[in-house]
């Protein structure tokens, strides 16, 4: 049975954030709100966690996972970023964008795309996620909470608890959550390429 935390959307209670971070350290899978939609997440590199997310999402090993990072300096540890890419990231983060970049050897191979060796990178603009990342002290591995055969991600914490109470360890509720997924931009080929249009504007990328 999943635990359920109601936290303040702008000033999340540190006591609950600490408990949520410990659940992740113990291998737990959490559902949490972001500045776009709800996501599933946990510690990077945890193999059983990857399997649980793939089962819930009904995706295979080619699914592109995303690392949620605290800031740009953290990104450089886990993804290869040149000067042009860095300027784009600096101009558009934090925000509702996911960037596809080449992963570094700091990441376990199992979290990278099996052929392209890429990883999604994101710096969310949401106080709850920022607090979770600060308390955890490392990036979170995540995936949009989009269930099989559904067009839109889940946005209501109570519905998530009802539908996934046996599949996740914690659901975090923090008020209304947007139901639009992030805009995904592939930066691996030099020029930005649109993978998925979502909440983030395409204007900064000339698309």
For residue 48, give the CATH number of its domain: 3.90.870.10
pLDDT band (50, 70, 90) for residue 1: confident
What is the per-residue pLDDT for 87? 92
Q: Which residue has the tokens 């795309």?
A: 113
User: Roughly what angle, to the nearest 10 degrees, separates helices 127-136 and 14-25?
Assistant: 60
Over residues 48-56, the mean pLDDT reads 93
CA atoms within 13 A on the CB side of 96: 21
pLDDT band (50, 70, 90) for residue 3: very high
Strands annotated E in the chain: 3-6, 30-32, 39-43, 66-68, 97-102, 118-122, 140-144, 170-173, 183-186, 193-196
pLDDT band (50, 70, 90) for residue 101: very high
State both tokens at 129.
């996620």
Q: Which of 1, 32, 40 is nearest to 172 (CA)?
A: 32
What is the per-residue pLDDT for 124? 93
pLDDT band (50, 70, 90) for residue 152: confident
Query: What is the per-residue pLDDT across 4-25, written as a single tens digit (0 to 9) for each?
Result: 999 999 999 999 999 999 999 9
Residue scoring higher pLDDT (14 or 60): 14
DSSP code per residue over 1-30: --EEEE--SSS--HHHHHHHHHHHHTT--E
pLDDT band (50, 70, 90) for residue 127: very high
Which stretches within 26-69 are classed as H helix? 47-57
Strands 193-196 and 183-186: antiparallel
Is there a contact between 55 and 177 (Cβ–Cβ < 8 Å)?
A: no
Percent of the chain with pLDDT over 90: 73
Which are the contacts of 120, defined by CB distance < 8 A and separation ≥ 6? 64, 65, 66, 67, 98, 99, 100, 184
How many domains, in total, are found in the chain?
1
What is the per-residue pLDDT for 62? 85
Full domain range(s) for residue 22: 3-205
Mean pLDDT of the chain: 92
What is the per-residue pLDDT for 31? 96
What is the per-residue pLDDT for 108? 87
SS3 6: strand
Q: Which residue has the tokens 């106080």?
A: 127
What is the per-residue pLDDT for 179? 76
DSSP structure class, residue 205: G
Over residues 135-162, the mean pLDDT reads 92
pLDDT band (50, 70, 90) for residue 136: very high
């Amino acid at each position: 049975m999943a635990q359920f935390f109601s936290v303040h959307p702008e000033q999340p209670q540190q006591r609950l954030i600490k408990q949520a971070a410990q659940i992740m350290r113990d291998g737990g899978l959490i559902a949490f709100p972001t500045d776009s939609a709800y996501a599933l997440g946990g510690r990077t590199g945890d193999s059983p966690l990857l399997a649980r997310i793939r089962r819930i999402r009904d995706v295979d090993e080619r699914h592109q996972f995303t690392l949620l990072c605290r800031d740009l300096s953290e990104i450089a540890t886990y993804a290869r970023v040149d000067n042009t890419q860095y300027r784009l990231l600096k101009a558009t983060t934090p925000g509702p964008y996911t960037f596809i970049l080449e992963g570094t050897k700091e990441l376990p191979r199992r979290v990278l795309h099996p052929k392209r060796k890429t990883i999604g990178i994101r710096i969310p603009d949401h106080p709850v996620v920022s607090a979770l990342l600060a308390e955890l002290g490392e990036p979170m591995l995540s995936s949009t909470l989009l269930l099989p055969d559904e067009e839109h991600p889940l946005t209501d914490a109570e519905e998530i608890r009802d539908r996934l109470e046996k599949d996740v360890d914690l659901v975090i509720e923090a008020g209304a959550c947007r139901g639009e997924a992030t805009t995904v931009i592939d930066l691996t080929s030099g020029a930005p390429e649109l993978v998925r249009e979502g909440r983030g504007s395409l204007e900064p990328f000339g698309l």
